[in-house]
Structure formats: C-alpha cells, structure tokens
Structure 1
Amino acid sequence: MVFPLKTPILLLDFIKYILAYLIVLVNTFCYNFLVNHLINLIRRMFMKKAYFDIVKEYECDVLVAGGGVSGFSAAVCAARLGARVILCDASGMLGGTATSGLVGPFMTCYDHKGEKQIIKGFFNEVVDRLVAEGAAIHPSVCKNNMSYSGYRMKGHDGVTPFSSEKLLLLAEELCLEAGVKILYHSRVIGCECNNDRIEAVYISTPAGVEEIRAKNYIDTTGSASLAEKAGAEVVFGDENGAVQTATTFFQITGVNKEALDAHMRDNYEMRARFFMDEIEKARKEGKFPCGTPKLRIYETVDGIWKVNMAQQDDYFNDTDTESITKAEIYQRKQIPQLFDFLKNNIPGLEDIRLLNSASEIGIRESRRIVGKTVFTGDDAINSRYADEQIAVCSNSIDIHLKSEVKYVVCEKNYYIPFSCLVSKNIKNLLAAGKCLSADKYAFAAVRVMPPCFAMGEAVGIAAAIASKQRISACDVNVKEIQKQIIDNGGYLELDS
C-alpha cells in the first residue's frame, strides 16, 4: 500500500506557524508602539519635553541664559570656580542694556551717605579694568550735582560713567579668560523638565535647534524667558500686571561742558535739571512732538554724553512681539526730534553731533520669577535677611510711570537675600538681575546695574558650588556663597 507523502502537510503547518509568529510580532510591535506613544504623550504633558530636530548637543555644568551684566558676571564667576559654563544670548554681544542699549552710567555702588563703596567684588574688578583703560570714571570721583551724575541733586553719589563699547570688549575678554563658552544668536525656545528639575534647554540658532544639558541653570534674560519655558512660577509686572515705562538712549558729542555746567549752576530746581520748562514751552509752540516730559544727560568718557529719553507716555510689553516692535519704532522715531530740541534750546549744546543710538530699547521691567522669597520694599526698608545676604545696596526706589516718577531715596543700606534668586518650584534654576523675585518697590530699587552685577556673581558662585557638590542650586549652603563673595572682594556688612 502506498501512503501519500506528508511533506505538504508539514509545509502547511510551518507556514501556519510562521504566520502566527508574525501576528504575535505585529501585535507586540503595535502594543509597544502604542505604549511608547502614550508614554511620550504623558512626557509631553507632565515633563514639558520639547520635541525638536536637534542639530547639535552640548553638555556643561552651568548654563547661563542671557549675557547682560548679571549674566556675564554669573558666567565668569562660575567658570573661575572650575565649572564648565555655557553662556547663550539672543543678540550678538554681551552687556545687554549697558552695551546694545547704551544705558549708563552704572548707578550708585556706594552707601546711603555716599561715603563708602558697598557693591564691590566682581563689579569692582570690571570698574577697575575699565578705569585702567581710560574707559570709565571711578565712582569715588562722581558726586551729586555733577555732569557725570546727570546733574542730579540726590541719590547719585558714586555712579560710574563708562564706555559702552569698551565694556562689551571687556565682558568678552573676561568670559574667554575664564573659559566660558559663548553662544551668540541663541534664543531659549523650550525646555525638557522632569518633575521639579530642568533636564535640557533648547535654543534656536542660525544652524537650527540645539540642545544644552546642564546640572544647574541661571536665568538672566531680563524677562525670565528660561524660567517661563521651564514652567517655573513667574509674574509679569506688579500685582495688576503693569510695568514701568521703557526708554531709549542715544549718544552725542560736541557738548560745551563749561556752558552747560554754568546753565545748571544757575538752575537748581529739578525741573531745570530735566529741561522740563524748555520742553513744556516748546510743546506749547508745537515744536516738541515727543511724548516724554523730561530728558536726562550724562557725561561719560572721551567727550561722549548719554541722553536718556526718560519717562515715556506709553507702556510696552517686551514679551509681546507686536508691542515691543511698536516701542522700538516709536522711540527711535523721536531721537532726531529730541536731538534738534537739545541743540536749539539748551545752552552748551548748540554744536552737538549725534554719535549713535541704542540698537535695542531699554526695558525697565518685564517678567520675573517667583522665588523662595519675594523680596519686598518693606524688607529693604527694615534691612531684613541678615542671615542670607548676598549683596548690600542703597539704591533708591525709582518707579517710572506714564504720568509720574516715584523716586524715594533710601535712608539706610539694605540686603538682597539669596532666596529671592532661587526658583520656588524648579530646584536647579536660579535667576538674577531683573529676573529676581521681588515686589514692585524692591524691584524698582535693585533693577539697576551694580546690584545686577552682585546678583549675577552670587548665582554664578552658587551654581558652581552646586555642580561641584552634585546637588541642586536651591540646596547650596548660603554661608559658602557668602564666603566666596568675600574672597572675591565683596562686601556684606550693613553698617549704619
């Protein structure tokens, strides 16, 4: 009897087995795909993971976002302690409003009596190097009622006139000397966060989107842009969302200093010091179409004078593209008109020449973080936080509104606490300069540049210590920060 071959049956079973196996593989793949997709969705929702096509990746100990005076101070001071530091800035230069904004002089670094320098440390090093190059006037020389202090009668002892161009070059030199990696034209556009920590920051560059992973992060953008992208608690302006008015600077030469000094000596009233009567008269005659009610003029170095358009007649939001564009155009348009007014109405300015104008508007107030502490005007008045101070200041409360300027000279020195530079809900995020956690009164006092230098130095030190000890910046012992500030030549005593 002949039995049929079983080979076709075995082949059929084999094919069935393969098909079953493929079905299992497909099901497993689909399952894994769906699970992974779901996980990614959850990560996007809860980890704030930004998804970009990354063209380049960096790793460092400390990332500083924003290269203004607080930013490059933080970067240099962190790098000098051995930290690997990257400093990124959206523009093509360091110094922020002090360079691209032409803002100056540095406001007072002296005590409330105008007798003793109290903001020192890294700020002092910058000033001394500028003075040595003939690019600044030492604050000890500058007193109230001088051309260097804008002929102001109070609150301007110990200001520092400086060259914006030389400051830019010095800032780069200091960063490169310390080993800081500078990334220009790099704007923060997103963050990857894990619970209460930043894992990575994404920057938009001419090459595309690049990723920076650091142990600790510092926001010195002036508008808390990094903090906002990371989901940190931030506020905009005061309790009503109102901010101080912005301003634009321009520089002139050809001032007859003797004639201008004589004019100011003969006119002691504040209105005269701001040319308010001349402005009011010209406006009535239809010869002053600008919105500003006052102007300020400051002598710097090399025969260059800075003109501050001062109080403006409108508010602008620098976090809104249309608003800030409107501000840039509106204020830049006024410069020729203001120049002509000065030339035709003020003794000593008959032969002035327009040297240049700021490439960016001077923003006084924007977003800032909510920190472990919200530094208040009452804290400053009562000199609180003696146990955690990272700077001592005497700067006046100076609030610029559309209708008025609220200016209060502080009658004693006060502290800036470290806890107002620490994010409330992101452990490895610090902030300095105009990004600090403060109410409108304290902010209006310490938003000027010498305190910003001091805050930058403090957070740079803190971030370097945290990275070295493998802890979050919020957990650094403030005593270690204070010790390093003093080692840097800083001053932390309140005095009387």
Structure 2
Amino acid sequence: MTATVNPITVDVVVVGAGSAGVAAAAAAAEEGATTVLLEASGHVGGTLAWQLLEHSAGFHDVHGNQVIAGFGDRLIGRLKELGSSPGHILDDVGYTATRTPVNHVELSLMEAVMLGEAGVQLWLNSPVVAVQREGDRITGLTVETPAGRRELRPGQVVDASGDAVVARRAGARFHEDAARTHQPASLTFKLGGVDFAALLDYARANPADFRPGNIIGDAADSDVNLWGLGSLLARGYQDGQLSLQRSEMHLAGWPRRGEAVVNVSRVSAGDVEENWTGDAAIQLSRQVLEFVRWFRHAVPGCAECYVAAVADRVGVRESGRVVGVATLTRDDLLHPVSRPDSIARGAFPIDIHEPDKPSLSHTEQLTEPYDIPYGCLVVDGIDNLLVAGRCISSTHEANGSARITATCFATGEAAGVAAALAASGNSAAPAVDVALLRQTLVRRGVLLSTQVKRPIHFAPVDC
C-alpha cells in the first residue's frame, strides 16, 4: 500500500476541472476560501476543451438576450482579447441565437491562468480513490497524486466531475428516470486539409442537404457552421462505407486554417457505464476511422483531409444525476417562473440524442429562460457536498438543456460561492443563506431572472 502523509485541511475541495469545476474553484477562491481543485487528467478544460466541442453554447436565449454571464463570460472575454475566440456570434445553423467558438488548447491554458490568479491550488493527475463519510458529512478524500497518496480534510466539497465520482463513493442517491436511456457517448475529431471553397460550394448548391436556416458561409470567413450532409451520409451507409447510420452531422470549421471539428459518432451510454468507457472508445475509434475514409471518398473538398486531432476522452452527454433537495424538470423549462432561490439560469433547447436513431430523438425549443434553484446543487442527505455541471439534480429531459457548457459554468460558479459561504460560516450546504448567495453572485456579474435583460449586439465578423 502507498504510504500517506499527514492529512491536509482545506476549506473547499472541487473535483473535476471541466467548465463547472474551473468556475467553482475560481469562485470559491475569489470569495476567500482556501481551495484545492482535483483533476484526474493532466490538464484543465474538461469536455469543452478536450472533447473538442464545436463551440460553447447557451449564453443567450432564443431571442438573443444574455442569460449567463459571470465567470463564463469573463473567460470568453479573456479569450477574445487573446484572439482565441470571436466571442458570442450568430448561430448560423439556426439552432440557438448564438454560439461561442473557442480555440480548445488556448481555452485550457487561459483557464489555468485564471485559476492561478484566483489562488486555487491545482492538483493535476490526481484522481479521488476513496471518500470517507461519517453520518451526514464527508470527512475525508483520498487522492492518488504523482507524489503519492494524500488525504484531504475538506470543509465543503463540490463534485463537478461530470460522472459524480465523489457523490457515488459517498453513497448519494441518483435519479433513475432514464437508467437505460441515457444519452449516447461520442468521440469528436478534428480534420485538417479541408478545402472549404469546394465544401461550401457543394453546400450552396445543395441546400436541401442541410438543416433549414443553415447560413452557408464563405471560404474567407473565420468560422463556419454546417449541419446536414444527409444524402451523402445515407449513400455512405447504403454502400457499406459507414457502419453507423446517421441522417445528419455537425461540422464546425475554420476555413482559413482548413480545419473542421466533426460531431457524428455515437455509442450506447449503457456500454460506457458498464465498461468504464473502454469498450466505447474502441467502437468510437472504429467509427471515426470509417468517417475519415468516407470524408476522403465522398465529401467535396475533403479528398486530402486527415485527422489533425481526436478527443482525449469519450464524450459523455449524460451520466449520473444526483438526487438533490430540489430537482429541475421538463415542466420547469417549458413553463418557467421566477424563483427566489434561483442561483443560475438556462436557455438552451432540450436536446436529446439516442444511440439507436440516425438523428436527434427530439428537440424542444424554449421560449424563455428558466431558473435553476439552489436545491438542485445540494445533495440530499450529505451536508457538505454540492454538485455542479451535468450531474446536478435534474430529470433526463431537463438534463438535455442543463448539461450545456455555458450552464455548467453558471452552476459551477454558484456551487463554488455557496461552498465558500458555508465554509466561512462553518455551516452545512443546505443552511447557506440563499439571499446572501444571490447577492454575492450578482456582485460577481451573474445574471438572475430579476435583472434587466441584456440583448446581444453582434459585432461585424472578421471576413
């Protein structure tokens, strides 16, 4: 057995350095809590950075009013200053009002810089291997670090791991409304060597092959967005080039660089959970290679393309959703009301994928933003554990909206501030003064439902 050193006492421990975890750790430290951020991999950024997501989304509602600001918007502002993102721009496939492209590597680097500025202790390559619980409290976390095993004694814990690894080990309860219908997993990849002039000429000549409302860009643009290629996909499946049947795919491109991120692969989430993503990675890798060969043979402008990058992890849309003292439901999203206990808002469509269908299972557009109550972050029965990101307390359909990255930034920031308040008052997470939490979040730039609407004004895109 690996020897341990003396336990380390810390106000707040955040687990998982994805969008939610980075926001939570920065917020907790900025509010005065000694904060350790644990990440099992060797870098920060999580799914947005290392699953190579096409862009961040969810900052604005369908009308173009901003619903999420705070830490997430500060991060995008820093990236925009650096030239790593154009900021919030028009969603040219018409799915939402805006999208926010980012340079994935520079996003990760900037998040690390902002964590350092906040005073966060960042522990990379440091998975949690055991959780100690006494009664209603987590009393210790065992962490396997490159320097050996360490024991942490946290005042408060924020589980932003995506897979709810702390909550599971602590014996938290999970929602079971979709135990066998979790959304599928994917492996996103980036193509290089794409001739966008030829690809976009094809798109303009074949509008029926793309989502209605998809604005076809130009090869001189900095960013383009395509959703479709349905007839080419059908032909590839029919002639045996593709083993996975898809009626559409999403391609986000940088024409000047000849690069495109492709979101098309998928496997059952049941395989992911039962085999710890290993078998899923094998299936998805086979699919990616099939699609690359298909691009070269069938898609205009892609004859010389190659895989420039592939996600470093299986992309999981939905894993365990912890049972909190409140639960976000589909009805809360479709019939929103202003809540006095709201700590964040969301506005992304209810976006449900299934592994055994060639397209989305269904999409429901939201006419107005919805409030996320603080209780969705508070784990029922454990006094010093909060959750953030895709594992917050929600139903299967509500998770289809709340899992999006901008909303993860928002729930992460709220969880981090709440943890800092609980630690400073030596109180339980359920006992946090929600009015004070809301006041603190507003001071930090978070937008809540009682505030004035902030419509977006699109700046001219650099073409």
Q: Which residue of 2 aligns with 1:307?
A: 262
**Residue 133 (structure 1) shift:** 0.9
> Is 1:69 paired with 2:19?
yes
> Is 1:453 paired with 2:409?
yes
Q: Which residue of 2 aligns with 1:359?
A: 312
**Alignment-mate amino acid for residue 175 of structure 2:** V
- Looking at structure 1, the residues matched to 137 and 254 of structure 2 have their Cα atoms a distance apart, in angstroms, of 44
> Is 1:120 paired with 2:69?
yes
Change (3 A) 1:215 1:365: same
- Looking at structure 2, the residues matched to 229 and 314 of structure 1 have their Cα atoms a distance apart, in angstroms, of 24
Output one character per residue of 1:167-220: Cα deviation in whole Å (capped at 9) or x when no partner: 110111111111111111221222221211111111223444321111101000
Change (3 A) 1:448 1:52: same
- Greater relative contact order (CA < 8 Å, ≥ 6 in sequence): 2
> Is 1:255 paired with 2:205?
no
Q: Which residue of 2 aligns with 1:191?
A: 131
- Looking at structure 1, the residues matched to 21 and 10 of structure 2 have their Cα atoms a distance apart, in angstroms, of 16
Change (3 A) 1:231 1:355: same
Percent same amino acid among aligned pairs? 28
Q: Which residue of 2 aligns with 1:389?
A: 342
**Alignment-mate amino acid for residue 421 of structure 1:** L
- Looking at structure 2, the residues matched to 419 and 385 of structure 1 have their Cα atoms a distance apart, in angstroms, of 15
Q: 2:165 aligns with which of 204, 225, 237?
A: 225
**Alignment-mate amino acid for residue 169 of structure 1:** L
- Looking at structure 1, the residues matched to 255 and 202 of structure 2 have their Cα atoms a distance apart, in angstroms, of 21
**Residue 291 (structure 1) shift:** 5.0
Output one character per residue of 1:225-267: Cα deviation in whole Å (capped at 9) or x when no partner: 101111122236x344431100111112333334433433344
- Contact 1:278/1:345 (8 A) holds in 2: yes
Q: Which residue of 1 aligns with 2:215?
A: none
CA RMSD of aligned residues (A): 2.1
- Looking at structure 2, the residues matched to 301 and 67 of structure 1 have their Cα atoms a distance apart, in angstroms, of 30
- Contact 1:271/1:277 (8 A) holds in 2: no
Output one character per residue of 1:71-120: Cα deviation in whole Å (capped at 9) or x when no partner: 0110001101110000001111111111221123001311221x222211
Q: Which residue of 2 aligns with 1:288?
A: 242
- Contact 2:186/2:267 (8 A) holds in 1: no
**Residue 309 (structure 1) shift:** 1.8
Change (3 A) 1:241 1:261: same
Per the normalisation by structure 2, the TM-score is: 0.88
- How many residues align? The count is 433
Q: 2:94 aligns with which of 153, 163, 167?
A: 153
> Is 1:345 paired with 2:295?
no
> Is 1:444 paired with 2:384?
no
Q: 1:379 aligns with which of 332, 338, 346?
A: 332
- Looking at structure 1, the residues matched to 256 and 342 of structure 2 have their Cα atoms a distance apart, in angstroms, of 37
- Looking at structure 1, the residues matched to 263 and 395 of structure 2 have their Cα atoms a distance apart, in angstroms, of 25
> Is 1:163 paired with 2:103?
yes
Unaligned runs of 5+ in 1: 1-50, 146-151
- Looking at structure 1, the residues matched to 11 and 299 of structure 2 have their Cα atoms a distance apart, in angstroms, of 53
Output one character per residue of 1:154-177: Cα deviation in whole Å (capped at 9) or x when no partner: 32x211000110011011111111
Q: Which residue of 1 aligns with 2:354?
A: 401
Per the normalisation by structure 1, the TM-score is: 0.82
- Contact 2:182/2:319 (8 A) holds in 1: yes
